[in-house]
Amino acid sequence: MRIGAGLLGHISGASGFPTLREAARVCEEGGMDSFWVADQRWMRDVYVSLADLAARTDRLLLGTRVTDPYVRHPGLTAVAIASLDEASGGRAVLGIGAGGSGFSSMGLERTRPAVAVREAIELMRQLWTGAEVEYRGQVVSWGRGALEFQCRRDIPIVIAARGPRLLELAGEVADGAIVASGVSPGGVGWARQRIRAGESRGGRPADSTELMHMTYISLDRDRARARQVVKKGIAGAVMGSHPTYAFLRANGLEIPPDLASYLDSGGRDSARVVELIPDSFVGKLAIAGTLDECGDQLEALLATGIQHPLLSPVPVEDGGEVALLRQVTGEILPRLRELFP
């Protein structure tokens, strides 16, 4: 078992970088294995943030959760993650997915995401060899050229996915899959089937892809409060997946008619989406409750075969991310290490 955590880059005010640094310190000293920063517009830059953490940590893997093939040309992403890998002493991990954040502001369209992610990975891996490359894909193109510095050729790439095509692509070409399809055995099992189908198509051994998981977590002595607050994370997943909800059905859930109507009409107010998310979604899509309950739920998630959960804290109090991670590392992680050495 490996376990990691990550934050968004929108921590308010001048406390942003100090909070990010303190969160990474708590994770490293508390025995976690990885730390991730979101590549979201319009938040603090993911590569500046990770480079700052690279200079302040010694052991943690440092990853993007997640970038995409549209906002930056994959050639620039190849340079950025290779630079981070060098600065961190070989601790960089590239998390990539379909994206969507900020697209409307920049006039971007998410065209053929599975094709775009595949082509981006192919191009980046070729560039990391140091060879002069010319690449002409359906979405991604690169005129003849090469990186002008040497870097590690095998920087790990993990694909974050909630839908079947990207899950299968992760099994076919990636080192790991960040599953975002829910925490229930049904949701994880459905994702694992898709990943295995990709492994088979790519001629790779079954279960050779590290099974990771993007896990929203909220804990509080008031379990009802934690369960309500964690819906903020679920709201992002529901809005980002509209109008396709195979992952909900895999968890035995259906999108409620009032929520479906709101999203179909173009509604994107996250507070309204939180109001429309049923309580039944919480136990299938996130981890929330008291400290002991969250420990039990994380144990159950690992029992499904997840090898590397990535915790995304959703605190009940603004600015409570570090305190939540401190509780996890101090009181839940030792128990999990005993059960899943």
The CATH number of the domain holding residue 29 is 3.20.20.30
Residues 116 and 258 placed together within one structural domain of the fold: no
- Sign of the C-alpha dihedral, residues 234, 163, 193, 313? negative
pLDDT at 319: 86
| 285, 302, 330 - which closes a domain | 285
Residues 131 and 71 placed together within one structural domain of the fold: yes
Q: Are 44 and 21 in contact (CB under 8 A)?
A: no
Q: Choose among 282, 243, 235: nearest CA to 260.
A: 243
pLDDT at 270: 93
Residues 81 and 105 placed together within one structural domain of the fold: yes
Q: The tokens of 60 are what? A: 């943690």
Residues 77 and 217 placed together within one structural domain of the fold: yes
| 285, 306, 323 - which closes a domain | 285
Q: Choose among 286, 183, 272, 191: nearest CA to 234.
A: 286
Residues 155 and 24 placed together within one structural domain of the fold: yes
Residues 206 and 245 placed together within one structural domain of the fold: no
pLDDT at 13: 52
User: Which domain does 253 fall in, by range?
Assistant: 231-285
Q: Choose among 293, 330, 280, 284: nearest CA to 218.
A: 293
Residues 143 and 259 placed together within one structural domain of the fold: no
Residues 242 and 314 placed together within one structural domain of the fold: no
Q: Are 306 and 269 in contact (CB under 8 A)?
A: no
Q: In sequence order, which residues have a C-beta less than 8 Å from that of residue 278 and are 6 or more positions away?
A: 256
Residues 254 and 203 placed together within one structural domain of the fold: no
Q: What's the total number of domains in the chain?
A: 2
Residues 299 and 193 placed together within one structural domain of the fold: yes
Residues 304 and 207 placed together within one structural domain of the fold: yes
Cα distances from 206 to residues 52, 66, 185, in angstroms, run 37, 25, 19
pLDDT at 240: 87
pLDDT in tens, the chain (341 residues): 999 999 876 665 557 899 999 999 999 999 999 999 999 888 899 999 999 999 999 999 999 999 999 999 999 999 999 999 999 999 999 999 999 889 989 999 999 999 999 999 999 999 999 999 999 999 999 999 999 999 999 999 999 999 999 999 999 999 999 999 999 999 999 999 999 999 999 999 999 999 999 999 999 999 999 999 999 999 999 998 999 999 999 999 999 999 999 999 999 999 999 999 999 999 999 999 999 999 999 999 999 999 999 999 999 998 899 999 999 999 999 999 999 98
Residues 219 and 273 placed together within one structural domain of the fold: no
